[in-house]
Amino acid sequence: MQLLRLRAAWDGHEVTYLTVSEDYRSDLVAAERGRLSVVVDATEWQRLLLVKLGLQVAWVVARTRPHVVITTGAAPGLMAVLAGRLVGARTMWIDSIANVDELSKSGRLAGRLTSRCLTQWPDLVGDGAEYGGSVL
């Protein structure tokens, strides 16, 4: 939902959203913007699902050839960042506003992998992340 709050920033651009929930399709249809690709959800403890997730994300990225990948986090977002870098896309990670005490584990990794890594809490600047304000 945080990423959808930013969608006005890419008005006029071709957009593909990648999510683990089919439920977001109605939000995109209501806004009449963007395509939606749904992939499996996986955690670091679900190794086989992570492989499946990585392949699904890589397929979407290879098919769409994005110039920019923007994500608000978790394993699918990290996979999208990695796949995006492979096709030469600029990448941005916006760590979830729910991470109040520390950057997420994926956010700490993203700080080293992305073109730009943002936290929504000024106290969490570091590990490659900078404060960029809040999405809410």
Average pLDDT over all residues of the chain: 86
pLDDT of residue 136: 60
Q: What is the pLDDT of residues 67-124, one digit of tens each?
A: 999 998 788 999 999 999 999 999 999 887 767 787 788 888 888 899 999 988 888 8
Strand partners, 71: 93
Residue 80 CA to its chain's centroid (Å): 7
pLDDT of residue 64: 94
Compute φ and ψ for 126, nearest 5 degrees. 135, 180
Architecture of the domain delimited by 16-131:
3-Layer(aba) Sandwich (3.40)
Give the H or E element holding residue 27.
helix 25-31
pLDDT of residue 103: 79
pLDDT of residue 33: 65
- In sign, the C-alpha dihedral spanning 119, 125, 130, 133 is positive
pLDDT of residue 87: 96
Q: Which two tokens stand for residue 132?
A: 């960029």
Q: Is 101 in a helix, a strand, or coil? A: coil
Q: How confident is the model at residue 13 (pLDDT cuts 50, 70, 90)?
A: confident
